[in-house]
Structure 1
């Protein structure tokens, strides 16, 4: 059970849950794009919109780290400053790749031309590779620093900021992406920490909505 004592260490499992959702879907996107038939504008627009939504979530996640995590770590863990600055630079590189991928996605969505499709797929692959590298380094080197120098309330504030910046009409679908990419124990943990009304909303509406959107994107049933 979590406590809020001065000596409690943040439980950083929730960031790994978020990372795993980003990993799964950004990795899948290049092949999904490459599989779109020439002229299939409906499918092209769907995947372009999927990238936009993924990017919205990623941008919010990284902005939260930029505002609430990196400054504290730089202040309290000066020995890790070179690593932290490199990860901040990776955020900038990922933002550049996201901008490129979004531009190529928008072009592809206009007519679903093969050349535009290939550019979008290549941009999505470059973005996924850079993100993989960043997330792995963050998990390997930074989460232990977080546990050493951040308080439980400070860590919770980071998660609360992410939820506050999520469009309210998409919160249950975003929750579905997180849960679907999580291990069974982590899925149980995430749900157990939600307010009762949020758990009920997920069971009554969220999962059904997520399953429908997952089928649209992936063309298959989500494997729960």
Structure 2
């Protein structure tokens, strides 16, 4: 595929922001589930709905990579891409299997507040697979993307997630990401959004996440994830 080599290339900082959110929320979820008292269906619904939201965010995020990122890297990245992309794809399959197990267990947990240990164990498995994948992606894939994917193509990854997630969850999802996000990265992500979104989202999204976190985590400021050293 021919490209104009004067095109700006991908600014991958938003991926670190997305990963930080997933490290945090999926890291906290197993204990949240274990702390639900058997039969406490109100609390199970709060925790289960949060798990369902995070699973949706994860699925759309990885679907975008499968469709839009791996093929471009394989086409353009030569031996470097050929050495790592198949591992990324295999890890996605493992993550999807763990994700499917979580999603299968969630409905009964949300309605009965039972089966929490099986769900928590499935979330432990998913979290471990995610951490391994994201750490490797940050070391090996993001430097390749900076060299071989244009800024416009990279933007398409985010647009895929927005198209395939219910519109009503997008402000909260952005707040989840913003919680540990660099303000400059947040500004860059919003730079090409419509003016109302650029003005409203930096105010609305953190407020939505603070209220959501208070319900889910018992605090508007849950513990931050531990990101690998860049």
What's the TM-score, normalizing by structure 1?
0.89
| 1:95 counterpart residue number | 96
Q: CA deviation at 1:206?
A: 3.5
Whether contact under 8 Å (2:72, 2:149) holds in the other structure is yes
Are positions 1:129 and 2:122 aligned together?
A: no
Cα distance change, pair 166–109 in 1 and its aligned pair in 2 (3 A): closer
SS of aligned partner of 1:181: coil
Superposition CA RMSD, Å: 2.1
> Matched residues in 2 for 1:216 and 1:71: separation?
40
Aligned to 1:77: 77
**In terms of mean alpha carbon deviation, does 194-203 or 90-99 score higher?**
194-203
Within a 5 Å distance, the mapping from 1:23-62 to structure 2 comes to 23-62=23-62
Match of 1:6, SS state, is: coil
Number of aligned residue pairs? 219
| Cα separation, partners in 2 of 1:170 and 1:214, compared to 1, 3 Å | same
Query: Does structure 2 conserve the Cα–Cα contact (< 8 Å) formed by 1:24 and 1:181?
Result: no
Partner deviation per Cα, 1:85-115 (whole Å, 9 max, x = no partner): 11111111101101111222222223223xx
Task: List runs of 5+ in structure 1 lacking aligned partners.
Answer: none
- Confirm or deny: 8 A CA contact 2:178 2:206 kept in the other structure: no
Deviation at 1:192, TM superposition (A): 5.2
Whether the 8 Å CA contact 2:175–2:207 is kept in 1: the answer is: no
Q: 1:16 to 1:106 in 2, by over 3 A?
A: same
TM-score normalised by length of structure 2: 0.87
Aligned residues of 1:6 and 1:151 also touching (Cα < 8 A): no
The 1:170–1:118 alpha-carbon spacing in structure 2 relative to 1, beyond 3 Å, is same
Question: What are the equivalent positions in structure 2 for 1:82-161 lying under 5 Å apart?
Answer: 82-113=83-114, 116-161=115-160
Contact kept, 8 Å, 1:48 with 1:102, in 2: the verdict is: no
Offset of residue 203 of structure 1: 5.1
Matches within 5 A, 1:174-189: 174-189=173-188
Deviation, structure 1 residue 50: 1.1
Partner of 1:13: 13
Contact 1:19 1:135 in 2 (8 A): yes
